Amino acid sequence: MSEGPSNNNKLNEEQEDTLTNRQGHPVTNNQNLRTVGNRGPAVLENYDFLEKISHFDRERVPERVVHARGAGAHGYFEAYGTAGDEPVSKYTRAKLFQEKGKQTPVFVRFSSVIHGGHSPETLRDPRGFAVKFYTEDGNWDLVGNNLKIFFIRDAIKFPDMIHAFKPDPITNIQDGERFFDFCASSPESFHMVTFVYSPWGIPANYRMMQGSGVNTYKWVNQDGVAVLVKYHWEPKQGIKNLTQQQASEIQGTSFNHATQDLHDAIKDGDYPEWELIVQIMSDDEHPELDFDPLDDTKLWPEDQFPWLPVGKMILNKNPEDYFTEVEQVAFGTGVLVDGLDFSDDKMLQGRTFSYSDTQRHRVGANYLQLPINSPKKRVATNQSGGQMQYKLDRAPGQNPHINYEPSILGGLKEAVQDGIEYTPYIKGNLVRESIDRQSNTKQAGETYRNFEEWERADLISNLVSDLSNCDQRIQDKMMALAEEADEEYGRRLREGLAQASKTGSSQKPLGNRDGDKAPEKAVKKGHDADPY
C-alpha cells in the first residue's frame, strides 16, 4: 500500500528562480552526472548534462573577420531639424532628421579591427564606430571608423589589405614588414598610415574618439534632388589619444580598459554624447578639386565644405547581455532609409555586399529576426525558411497561402512612393581602372603639418621602430612617400632609419618598441621552479 507522496516533493516545487533546462524541465541536481555508483562510469542517458554540454560546445558563433573585439551601448539620436543654419529638408527627406527634438533609438558598437575578440584595446589599429538607428521607416546603419579616411579606395583590395595586416599565416604573429609591404606597394594608403602610426592610431577609449562614416553617401530631398554627404561624429567629452609608451603602460594592467570605461561611465550616469556633423557637396565630379570626392583616402577640406551639425547622440543604457546584443548585432552599409542613398564610392559598393553576406554566415539567414537587429516597427515580407526562423513576417489579415507578389488573393502590396524618385544619369564604358585624381601624398603632408610636435615625434618614432626591421626596398618606398608628402616628414624619417638598430625583428604588434624581445625577456625574467 502506498504511503502517499513524500514530503521531499515539496523541495522540488518550481519557483520563479528555479533552474530549468531548455525544455522547461526543473533541474534537481546540477552538481553530479548520473553514474553507476558514485565513482562511475557515467551512463548515456544523462539528458540534462548532454543538453548542457552540447549547448556549451556551440556557445560561440564564428568571430567577425574584422572588428571582432567590440563594446556596445543603447541610446538615442536627437535631431536638430536643421543642417547648419538651413532646414535639413533642403537636402534630405529622411524622416529622422526633420523635426527638432525628434528622438530615434540607437545601438552603437565600438570595436578594434584586426585582432581577435579578446585582444588588448591598446593595440595600434583603427577603431570601428557603427550606429544602428531604429527609425520609423526601418533601420539605418551608419557603419564607419574613428578615423575619417581609409587605406584603400577600391574594394577589390580589401581582402589583401586585411591579410597583410593580420598575423602571418605561418607564425601567427603580426608582422610590420607584411603591413608595410602592402602599404609601400599601395601609395594611396600613406595618408592613413600617417594617422595610424601617430597617437591617433591608439584612442584613449571609445568615449573620447571621433567617428566617421568614411565613405561618401548621398542625401535625397522631396524633389528627388541628391547631394553628396560625409558623416562625422564629434565627442562632447573631448578627444584623447595615447602615445605608444602610454598604451604599453596601460596594457600592462588591463587589456579591456576601453570596454570598462564605456560601461562604467554609463553605469555611473556620465552618459557619453556625440554631435553628428555632415559635409555636403553637389553631386558631380568637382573637377576644381585635386582629388575625387568619392575617394575615401581623402578628407573634404572643412574651409570648402563646412561642418553642418544635424543632431546629437547620447548613450544611456548598457547591454543586458554581451553575446545577445554586442556579439550578435549585425550592421550593413546597405541598410538605408528613404532620403538616404549610395554614392558611386567603389569601397562603399564593395562593403554593401560584404557586410550583409558576413552576417548571414556568422549569425544565420534569419539574423534580422533577432531583437537587437530587428526594426522597432512592423515587418511584413514574403521571405521564410532558413536556419533558426522563429516567426513569420506576416501582415495582419495576410492570406497565409500567398507568399509571393503581385497577387489579387490577399497578398502583400507595394508601398506608395513618397517623394520623387532619385534617378541619376550614368554613362561610360565598363573598365577596370583607377580613378584619375589620385594625389596620394598631398593630404598626408597637410595632416603631418597639422599635428602638434609631440604627435609628429611619436609618429616618426613608431614608423622607425617598425620600418627599421623591414626590407630595404620597403624602407626606400616609404621614405620616398614621406618626402613627397612633406620635406620635414621625409627627412626625419630618413634620419631616424639611418640611426636605428637593424638587429630587431618585425614580428611584433605595430609600433611596439620591444615586442620582438618579449620571448627572450620572459626566459630571463622567469623564476625557476621544481616539478610537482
| Residues acting as catalytic residues | 67, 145
Phi first, then psi, for residue 164 (nearest 5°) are -70, -35
> Considering just the CA atoms, what is the radius of gyration of the chain in Å?
27
Taking alpha carbons only, the member of 440, 323, 317, 407 closest to residue 371 is 323
Asked if residues 229 and 216 have their Cβ atoms less than 8 Å apart, the reply is yes
Taking alpha carbons only, the member of 342, 335, 347, 337 closest to residue 283 is 342
Taking alpha carbons only, the member of 424, 470, 434, 457 closest to residue 228 is 424
DSSP H or E segment with residue 182: helix 176-184
Asked if residues 296 and 216 have their Cβ atoms less than 8 Å apart, the reply is yes
What are residue 169's DSSP bridge partners? none
Written as one letter, the residue type at 294 is L
Query: Can you tell me the distance from the alpha carbon of 119 to that of 327, in angstroms, rounded to the nearest whole number?
Result: 15
* Alpha-carbon separation of residue 294 from 150, 153, 228, 411 (angstroms): 12, 8, 9, 41
Pull the grid cell for residue 273: 554624447
Asked if residues 109 and 326 have their Cβ atoms less than 8 Å apart, the reply is yes
Count CB neighbours of 173 within 10 A. 15
Asked if residues 71 and 371 have their Cβ atoms less than 8 Å apart, the reply is no
What residues contact residue 173 under an 8 Å CB cut-off, 6+ apart? 167, 507, 508
